[in-house]
Amino acid sequence: MEIDTIAAISTPVGEGAISIVRLSGQDAIKIVKQLFKGKDLQYVDSHTLHYGKIIDPDTEEVADEVIVSVMRAPKTFTCEEVVEINCHGGLMAVNRILELVLDRGARLAEPGEFTKRAFLNGRIDLSQAEAVMDVIQSKTSQAMNVALNQLDGKLSRLITELRQELIETIAHVEVNIDYPEYDDVEEMSHDLMKEKTKYVHGEIERLLQVAKQGKILREGIKTAIIGRPNVGKSSLMNSLVQEERAIVTDVPGTTRDVIEEYVNVRGIPLKLIDTAGIRETKDIVEKIGVERSHKILQEADLVLFMLNYNEEITEDDRKIFELLTDMNYIVIINKTDLPKKINMDEIKELANEHSVISMALINDKGIDDLESSLSKLFFSKNIQTDDITYVSNIRHIHLLKQSKQALEDAMKALELDMPLDIIQIDVTRTWEFLGEIVGDTASESLIDQLFSQFCLGK
């Protein structure tokens, strides 16, 4: 079957030192050879770089001075012929080269099509393919390590081992049923089936136990900073981000809209959201900001609720405490450099065992205590990304939960001494669910949907 050659720009749009046009397919070298003035690319060694110029064959004009890398199949990312044209950065040069490549027979790649070809050609499995995007989108070094472990196949190997355990159990049952006369085959008993299912169930449980931490490392914690106007919300964001991201004044209601920024707190990526102060107001613009703050509050994974040490608690503050019921939140008492007016005993009672931290942001006091509380809230121990197989992808977590449920159904049936051929139906379902993680049993439409979320040129 003839596979067409695809091409795309693989570097971010904008000005930079270099840009890269990548081609993959059986005609990749042939297409670039028509445009390249330099060594004959058909005869160069694989995985080599070559200086030259890209020429428009129709006009003989020089498009750009380039370095071309040639990588021959099958030792490439896609297992196909791959050529990368390294040109000067900027929009004009790279777009001109891409246009010339497409004119000579290449097709513009779809989002994620390079990685999809790597998957379809057996270079990587589906979980590794998804890890490619996790590497690109990592916000912290810990998240990067988790993604690299998955890209290296750490999760894939574990899933493959568990599936092998299950398929051997299924095959054992089938042999006992179809060939009962074979005396040299060990009989699959209920006890042996219990042992196998219990082992796989335990491994899946272990993965799910750290899945919450993995998901946090991958996606970050959506953190809303809320409180009445002028309690120091914008100052807190600026202290954590370590730059003047939000406007800080003594005038209440300065922040009218939602401001977002990612920050790394002890390896935990926080998506900080500085909201407009929550209070009753007649100002139309500020009122819109307050309404947005309420919406952000409902969607947040964590809330940092700020109060003023120099002010008494108000009815608005008590209403916010009511809104925070059943949510993850930390109470921050700011401006402890000023005379005390707030009733700390009432605050602790309203906080109901949630962390209460005192701060004086003007002196950068209390930031370390906040970071420590954040770490303890989401990670009971230090983050380990080398020894633990983290599951961070929501699709994987869902499939693991389905696998766990199917095994529990099988284990219940075993307790009731149901026939093994009936029990193996749930064991087979588990094998199929786990197969979807690595792509062995994933549908074509699911694969297309996953790769469509990738960036162009990857």
pLDDT tens digits along 114-166: 999 999 998 998 888 888 878 877 777 777 777 788 788 888 999 999 999 99
Domain termination site, one of 323, 350, 378: 378
Are both 50 and 103 inside the same structural domain?
yes
Among 63-67, 229-233, 257-261, 328-332, the least confident range: 257-261
pLDDT of residue 139: 72
When pLDDT is cut at 50, 70 and 90, the band that residue 51 belongs to is: very high
Please state at what angle helix 211-219 crosses helix 394-415, rounded to 10 degrees: 170
Are both 204 and 231 inside the same structural domain?
no
Among 61-70, 293-302, 334-343, the least confident range: 293-302
Please compute Rg for the chain using Cα positions: 29
Q: Answer whether 101's CB lies under 8 Å from 9's CB.
A: no
When pLDDT is cut at 50, 70 and 90, the band that residue 373 belongs to is: confident
Q: What angle (nearest 5°) sits at the alpha carbon of residue 438, between those of residues 84 and 412? A: 170
pLDDT tens digits along 196-241: 899 999 999 988 887 777 777 777 788 888 888 778 887 888 888 7
pLDDT of residue 53: 96
When pLDDT is cut at 50, 70 and 90, the band that residue 270 belongs to is: confident
pLDDT of residue 290: 58
When pLDDT is cut at 50, 70 and 90, the band that residue 299 belongs to is: confident
- Range 425-431, long-range pairs (CB < 8 A, 24+ positions): 427/166, 427/169, 427/170, 427/193, 427/197, 428/166, 428/170, 430/166, 430/200, 430/403, 430/406, 431/163, 431/166, 431/167, 431/170
The alpha carbon of residue 228 and the mean position of all alpha carbons in its chain are separated, in whole angstroms, by 33
Q: Look at 21 and 149; give whichever has higher pLDDT.
A: 21
pLDDT tens digits along 374-407: 877 776 555 555 555 677 788 888 999 999 999 9
Both structure tokens of 402: 């389905």
Are both 332 and 234 inside the same structural domain?
yes
| Angular region, 317: left φ>0, alpha ψ -120 to 50, beta rest | alpha
Are both 295 and 426 inside the same structural domain?
no
Quick check: is 330 in a domain?
yes
Strand order from edge to edge, sheet including 221-227: 259-265, 268-274, 221-227, 302-308, 329-334, 356-358
Are both 313 and 370 inside the same structural domain?
yes
When pLDDT is cut at 50, 70 and 90, the band that residue 246 belongs to is: very low
Residue 276 has pLDDT above 70, yes or no: no
pLDDT of residue 256: 39
pLDDT of residue 185: 46
Quick check: is 357 in a domain?
yes
Domain termination site, one of 326, 356, 378: 378
Domain termination site, one of 355, 378, 401: 378
Q: How far is CA 241 from CA 236, 262, 267, 360, in A?
A: 9, 8, 14, 17
CB atoms within 10 A of CB 44: 17
Q: Which residue range is the domain that position 316 belongs to?
A: 220-378
Query: Could you please report the per-residue DSSP string of 17-35?
Result: SEEEEEEESTTHHHHHHTT
Are both 188 and 227 inside the same structural domain?
no
Tally the domains of the chain: 3
Find the mean pLDDT for residues 237-249. Answer: 59
When pLDDT is cut at 50, 70 and 90, the band that residue 44 belongs to is: very high
Instruction: Go through 252-279 and write b for each residue having 16 or more CB atoms within 10 A of its CB, e for each that does not.
Output: ebbbbeebebebebebbbbbbbbbbbbb
pLDDT of residue 202: 94
Q: Look at 299 and 164; give whichever has higher pLDDT.
A: 164
Pairing verdict, β 107-108 and 82-88:
unpaired
When pLDDT is cut at 50, 70 and 90, the band that residue 249 belongs to is: very low
When pLDDT is cut at 50, 70 and 90, the band that residue 33 belongs to is: very high
Quick check: is 148 in a domain?
yes
Residues 52 and 84: their CA atoms lie apart, in Å, by 13
Q: Answer whether 275's CB lies under 8 Å from 288's CB.
A: no
Q: In the predicted model, what is the mean pLDDT of the chain?
A: 82
At 172, which CATH number?
1.20.120.430
pLDDT of residue 259: 66
- The answer to whether the bond into 74 is cis (omega within 30° of 0) is yes
pLDDT of residue 87: 95
Are both 191 and 224 inside the same structural domain?
no
